[in-house]
Structure 1
Amino acid sequence: MKSLRIAAVALNQTPLDWRGNLARASEAIEAARRAGATLVCLPELCLSGYGCEDAFYAPHVRRRTLDSLAALLPTTQGVGAVVGLPLEVEGRLYNAAACIADGVLLGFTLKQFLADDGIHYEPRWFKPWPRGKVATISACGLSVLAGDLLYDLAGVRLGIEICRDAWVADRPANGYAARGVTLAMNPSASHFAFGKQAIRRRLVTEGSRLIDGPYLYTNLLGNESGRALYEGGTLIAQRDTLTHQGPRFVFGDRTLTVVDVDVADSPTKTKPGDTIISAAWQRSPADAEKLNPHSPPQAAWETGDAVVYEEFSRAVSLALHDYRRKCRAEGFVLSLSGGADSAAVASLVWLIGRLSGDPATLETVYQATSNSGTVTRDAARAVATAVGATHHEWDVQDLVERYTGLAAAAVGHPLTWETDDLALQNIQSRVRSPGVWMLANLRRALLLTTGNRSEAAVGYATMDGDTSGGYAPIAGVSKRFVLDWLQWMETVGPAGVGPLPALAAINAQQPTAELRPPGAGQTDEADLMPYAVLDEIERSAIGDLDATERTLERLQARFPEHAPEQLAAWLERFDRLWRASQWKRERLAPSLHLDVLSVDPKTWRRWPILSGE
């Protein structure tokens, strides 16, 4: 039995940022060495970035990634490291993990199972590697092995699963014990979704049980490429017990979890057909006293009743922070309507400062028309004051009237609410766009949109109006979720931050677009349907792809208080609006994947722009 100090690193990388990605990887290895670690694991594809998309096809991307790997080799004097990168083998591209030790490139383990569901499109770029196969390639000026490899590192037999490899029933770790593996590592790029960390904890614990030894898991961190958020949360399990979890949703370049583990000696015999690469080096000495024998595998906020709200708060605020930083904007601009959605976005920007200690600059604008009321005006002002925004109040009614007059002259008759309802609503939203865009340009700021997933599903938005902006932070969650989160934010708030009482002015209202005259009594649910019904239809028809008959059965079982005829009418309305609105979803600002469900056609559920029964 050997005492070994190992390190798990979460890195905040950016696709194709060659110098930055290499520097952060090098600094992480050096930090692990200073902590006395013998072996360190970095995330999947961290040298190139996970989200390179079709840039993976470019030969220069593969060449520059290998250049980065060659530059990384000297940093591993006295330490072994596993680091992810794309790799061409025999004319095909693979998702690889390089194993390097003491400045020497030992070999490449290639991913056997590719992520091809949900938001994943790995088979578009990579091929799965066959189990048991090994090839010889040229890399970094050396002839090295690549494929299904094991490593004997100073007497420790190491096996590597790459992210999705651990999520399938026939995972490589199933046979690791028989192959003499005494330590397993998993470099991952596993995107955030509500509740997903619990699954990772189970898989890591299971991996440890399968090898009867330590299992180490790493992940990316932050908003890497715009649409997927990685929360870090490195994990280490020892003999069927999860002992360590690194912090999640950290604002910074990396997290480092260093642990002392007991590892069985490598067996003297090998299984026929196994390819084992051996390396010996002077391991960095560990402190006499063992480090971190056990730590809480979860933060306190992860064990309460409001985990989903805590995760949402931390995930989106981190995503906003990184998106602004990586697109080099100097702050945020927001059209603050005094309603729930824009108040939620303002609150999330406020949370950046509360959670990171580095407040973000926010400038807000309330843009009134003759249909705006004092309730929303006062609510917008109260929220802006509470979150520390620079707030403006503009009256845009004259712009509405001028455009209405121009259009009336063009069609040859006055426009009325009885005959031109939709056009009269949309023009109010559209005239609010140019001014707030101009303010964002002048401030060199990122303009945020405020649409939620429910609105995107049914097209309840004005293109080039309230959809204007560069990022859509809440488009991954439903309207019902937004309303419930705002109630929680008003009274509880994230652990270590607390509530935002000014949201009471928002929560006291019934959601409304406030585009029809005040006497019309316009509300979102009257325009559409109850949000609970809309959510259930989305889950069934879009999430599960149920036929109309099956969706209606689910609605009748879930909502017996509504007449079957009414449920059928709402379902027909959803279906009609969903099909008519795909072109809108294609044009929405980039949004963050947060939930199992999504309507973003670029990351989850694709649909034809034109469709029918």
Structure 2
Amino acid sequence: MSIYKIAGATLNQTPIDWQNNVRNIIDCIEQAKDLNIDILCLPELCISGYGCEDLFLSDWLPEKAVSHIPEIANHCKDIIVALGVPVRYHGKLYNCVCLIKDQQILGFNAKQYLANDGVHYEPRWFTPWKQDKIQQIQINGGSYPIGDLQIEIEDLKIGFEICEDAWRGDDRPACRLYEKGVNLILNPSASHFALSKTQEREDLIAQSSKSFQCTYVYANLLGNEAGRMIYDGEIIIAQEGRLLQRNNLLSFKEFNIATAEVDLQNANNSSAELIANVQSKYAEFIQATSLAMFDYMRKSFSKGFILSLSGGADSSTCAIIVAEMVKRGLAELGLNKFLDKLNLHHLKSELLSLSSSDEKQKLIVKHILTCAYQGTSNSSDKTLESARQLAGDIGATFYHWNIDEEVASFTQKIEHTLQRDLTWEDDDITLQNIQARTRSPIIWMLANIKNALLITTSNRSEGDVGYATMDGDTSGSIAPIAAIDKHFIISWLKWAETELGYKSLSYVNNLTPSAELRPLEKDQSDESDLMPYKIIVEIERLAIQNHQSPIEVFKALSKKNLENCESLKTHILKFFRLWSRNQWKRERIAPSFHLDDFNVDPKTWCRFPILSGSFKEELEELEKL
């Protein structure tokens, strides 16, 4: 038998949601059998969930994960299935793949290289397995091989790489598997989403299949599994350098299967139905964030979202994300399944009376997204109109009120206590911040009343320099755009106006970004307060992602002629000073999604001391240049 129907599958799992996870796995296996699939590769740690964090330090979690294998194996008649599971062996925890054939467990392959950069901290929980080592393990009353396995089944010789294993260059497991004559490598993965990452993966898998003269199957997790990480659900199958299969990413379904007919003897006879196109960064961004919000809402058992819609770029982006969540979810799942997943059964009768899909979409948005424009005397008519038009365009419930009375009450109490007036000349930051903070309590009331998630609209550029008010515009349950820069957001909104068809975005796209916290005659703008957003992007990539010193950043950017050297130096000095001063703010940002190849969330990618020397000597060196 040289021709096999091989498949990868993606699963939308949740940490320690055993019933959900096992049901998804079994449903996926049953569908694979209906499709006459011979070999099925499921994602990494798919029984327990990848994002269990310090629960992996327990004894009970891996024990419980393994206890579900017999139930899953019972569904594996006439099929070979590889699935990820944590296994504790001799007191140490290993990230394993269990291979099952025709209801029988064949063994457990253990991960050799642990991800320990960016958003990953695997060595905190797992132990790397030593290459070429194989032991025996007693599980559920049986004895099985565990370790660096190669398993022969007829003319198949199966080997494994688990996610990070494949990214280790010349020392990766596949190098040794090639020497041992392995012709099928299965790679169960939990590889986080980042913009444009899919092309890098595709190149890796295609090249791996060529370099190691094998068929290579990659299967990733799907969705917002545990809160911050998004998994794109990518499945790639390649044979001897030829890409056979790449699926559409970021599905709203619980699982997806992608297949290829593989002829082990003659690669030219192998075939698959679909090789999906790689999307642009703008398209990927809305696909990822809308799915992440969908999963966050349903997995947190919330009833919707509340948004302080200012009419500016950030809050407008967040509103579009929710609207697209509804649009895309309905298109892929259908009305009934979409409503069931979000526990919106009560809307069914009302929706059935509507004829057009646009009307149905807007009715759902009306029920799950409530927006409020909270104006002051410093707010402009343009931003109010921008907010009103966008809310109407997407169908959101929209409120508008003024908070001058509340701001005046707080201000007068302090003035009375201090026995002096507060002025814009002496108390600029205080007078700005009290407006932002005053918006928080009332919008939180709406969130509490509706049992909804309060969206906070901070972006990564603001996080860099602390251009945000604690307990004000940063106050909320979820920060969907905190990991993406403002320069990208401004460009994305222009794309969304034309490509996604939100004509109301013309209002915000014609505005200059402004906090609107100073009197209107002061003509406040974000970039005049800070620096051009395109400059922040360039500085942060070198300083934060690449860990360069102030002088290194200056030398690198001065060659790009972004602006004159004195302005560049001023902006770099300002960036590093504000970055150092505002780590405490970044520590308090609401949970956010990892979207780019780096972020400034100290709980995932970027750890920095709250108290430090603030680059004092390094900045003095730069000033002397």
TM class, shorter-length? over 0.9
* Alpha-carbon RMSD: 1.6
Rounded Cα–Cα distance in structure 2 between residues aligned with 1:530 and 1:202: 35
**Among 307, 314, 318, the residue aligned to 2:287:** 314
Does the 8 A contact of 2:432 with 2:517 survive in 1? yes
Which letter maps to 2:44? E
Does the 8 A contact of 1:599 with 1:605 survive in 2? yes
3-state DSSP of counterpart to 1:75: coil
- Counting only pairs closer than 5 Å after superposition, residues 32-181 of structure 1 correspond to structure 2 as 32-169=32-169, 170-181=171-182
Which letter maps to 2:231? Y
- Counting only pairs closer than 5 Å after superposition, residues 217-256 of structure 1 correspond to structure 2 as 217-256=218-257
Does the 8 A contact of 2:263 with 2:270 survive in 1? no
Does the 8 A contact of 2:195 with 2:284 survive in 1? yes
Does the 8 A contact of 1:511 with 1:524 survive in 2? yes
Which letter maps to 1:40? L
For 1:345, the equivalent position in structure 2 comes to 318
Q: Deviations over 1:161-192 (max 9, x none)?
A: 11111111122112323312121111001111
Kindly indicate whether residue 484 of structure 2 is the aligned counterpart of residue 477 of structure 1: yes
Does the 8 A contact of 1:21 with 1:47 survive in 2? yes
Q: Deviations over 1:282-302 (max 9, x none)?
A: xxxxxxxx9982344223xx2
For 1:273, the equivalent position in structure 2 comes to none
Kindly indicate whether residue 367 of structure 2 is the aligned counterpart of residue 363 of structure 1: no
Does the 8 A contact of 1:479 with 1:531 survive in 2? yes
Does the 8 A contact of 1:32 with 1:258 survive in 2? no
Rounded Cα–Cα distance in structure 1 between residues aligned with 2:142 and 2:208: 32
**Among 519, 544, 547, the residue aligned to 1:517:** 519
For 2:409, the equivalent position in structure 1 comes to 402
For 1:453, the equivalent position in structure 2 comes to 460
Rounded Cα–Cα distance in structure 2 between residues aligned with 1:565 and 1:180: 61
For 2:497, the equivalent position in structure 1 comes to 490
Does the 8 A contact of 2:306 with 2:447 survive in 1? yes
3-state DSSP of counterpart to 1:118: coil
3-state DSSP of counterpart to 2:516: coil
For 1:194, the equivalent position in structure 2 comes to 195
Q: Deviations over 1:287-345 (max 9, x none)?
A: xxx9982344223xx26xxx000100101111111111110111111000011100011
- Bigger drift between 500-509 and 346-355 goes to 346-355
Rounded Cα–Cα distance in structure 1 between residues aligned with 2:496 and 2:309: 18
For 2:334, the equivalent position in structure 1 comes to none
Rounded Cα–Cα distance in structure 2 between residues aligned with 1:561 and 1:137: 63
Kindly indicate whether residue 272 of structure 2 is the aligned counterpart of residue 294 of structure 1: yes
Rounded Cα–Cα distance in structure 1 between residues aligned with 2:109 and 2:320: 44
Rounded Cα–Cα distance in structure 1 between residues aligned with 2:535 and 2:563: 12
Shift, 1:397, TM fit: 0.8
Q: Deviations over 1:370-392 (max 9, x none)?
A: 11111001110001011110000
Which letter maps to 1:298? A
3-state DSSP of counterpart to 1:460: coil
Rounded Cα–Cα distance in structure 2 between residues aligned with 1:37 and 1:298: 20
For 1:330, the equivalent position in structure 2 comes to 303
**Among 410, 421, 425, the residue aligned to 2:432:** 425
Shift, 1:160, TM fit: 1.0
Shift, 1:205, TM fit: 1.1
Which letter maps to 1:309? Y
Shift, 1:362, TM fit: 0.9
- Bigger drift between 202-211 and 89-98 goes to 202-211
Rounded Cα–Cα distance in structure 2 between residues aligned with 1:375 and 1:7: 53
Rounded Cα–Cα distance in structure 1 between residues aligned with 2:492 and 2:150: 47
Which letter maps to 2:517? L
Rounded Cα–Cα distance in structure 2 between residues aligned with 1:296 and 1:36: 18
Does the 8 A contact of 1:176 with 1:210 survive in 2? no
Shift, 1:502, TM fit: 0.6
Paired residue total:
578
For 1:277, the equivalent position in structure 2 comes to none
Does the 8 A contact of 2:137 with 2:145 survive in 1? yes
Rounded Cα–Cα distance in structure 1 between residues aligned with 2:329 and 2:270: 26
Rounded Cα–Cα distance in structure 2 between residues aligned with 1:3 and 1:226: 41
Kindly indicate whether residue 541 of structure 2 is the aligned counterpart of residue 539 of structure 1: yes
For 2:25, the equivalent position in structure 1 comes to 25
Structure 2 segments unaligned to the other structure (5+ residues): 331-337, 339-360, 616-625
Q: Deviations over 1:59-111 (max 9, x none)?
A: 11011101112221111111111000111122111110001111111110000
Rounded Cα–Cα distance in structure 2 between residues aligned with 1:431 and 1:122: 42
Does the 8 A contact of 1:3 with 1:261 survive in 2? yes
3-state DSSP of counterpart to 1:76: coil
Rounded Cα–Cα distance in structure 2 between residues aligned with 1:86 and 1:210: 30
For 2:621, the equivalent position in structure 1 comes to none
Higher helix content, 1 or 2: 2
For 1:411, the equivalent position in structure 2 comes to 418
Which letter maps to 1:365? A
For 2:353, the equivalent position in structure 1 comes to none
Shift, 1:58, TM fit: 1.0
3-state DSSP of counterpart to 2:23: helix
Does the 8 A contact of 2:244 with 2:260 survive in 1? no
Which letter maps to 2:598? L
Sequence identity of aligned pairs in percent? Answer: 44
Shift, 1:573, TM fit: 1.2
Rounded Cα–Cα distance in structure 1 between residues aligned with 2:12 and 2:55: 19
Shift, 1:210, TM fit: 3.4
Does the 8 A contact of 1:247 with 1:255 survive in 2? no
Shift, 1:258, TM fit: 2.4
Q: Deviations over 1:343-379 (max 9, x none)?
A: 0110111111222215552110000111111100111
Rounded Cα–Cα distance in structure 2 between residues aligned with 1:598 and 1:244: 31
Does the 8 A contact of 2:114 with 2:164 survive in 1? yes
Rounded Cα–Cα distance in structure 2 between residues aligned with 1:560 and 1:367: 37
Q: Deviations over 1:115-136 (max 9, x none)?
A: 1111111111111111000111
Does the 8 A contact of 2:457 with 2:474 survive in 1? yes
Kindly tell me: are residues 26 and 154 of structure 1, through their superposed partners in 2, closer, same or farther at Cα, counting changes over 3 Å? farther
Does the 8 A contact of 1:188 with 1:218 survive in 2? yes
TM-score, normalised with respect to structure 2: 0.90
Which letter maps to 2:178? A
Rounded Cα–Cα distance in structure 2 between residues aligned with 1:355 and 1:214: 33
For 2:354, the equivalent position in structure 1 comes to none
3-state DSSP of counterpart to 2:223: strand
Does the 8 A contact of 2:43 with 2:189 survive in 1? yes
For 1:579, the equivalent position in structure 2 comes to 580
Which letter maps to 2:464? A
Does the 8 A contact of 2:262 with 2:270 survive in 1? no
- Bigger drift between 150-159 and 42-51 goes to 150-159
Rounded Cα–Cα distance in structure 1 between residues aligned with 2:546 and 2:238: 34
Kindly tell me: are residues 238 and 227 of structure 1, through their superposed partners in 2, closer, same or farther at Cα, counting changes over 3 Å? same
For 2:349, the equivalent position in structure 1 comes to none
Does the 8 A contact of 1:213 with 1:264 survive in 2? no
Which contiguous aligned blocks of 4+ residues in structure 1 show a shift greater than 3 angstroms? none
For 2:561, the equivalent position in structure 1 comes to 559
Q: Deviations over 1:532-559 (max 9, x none)?
A: 1111111111111111111111232223
Kindly tell me: are residues 560 and 145 of structure 1, through their superposed partners in 2, closer, same or farther at Cα, counting changes over 3 Å? closer
3-state DSSP of counterpart to 2:587: helix
Which letter maps to 2:324? L
Rounded Cα–Cα distance in structure 2 between residues aligned with 1:521 and 1:422: 16
For 1:268, the equivalent position in structure 2 comes to none
Does the 8 A contact of 1:183 with 1:211 survive in 2? no
3-state DSSP of counterpart to 1:558: coil
3-state DSSP of counterpart to 2:483: coil
TM-score, normalised with respect to structure 1: 0.92
Shift, 1:570, TM fit: 1.6
Which letter maps to 1:557? K
Rounded Cα–Cα distance in structure 1 between residues aligned with 2:562 and 2:152: 63
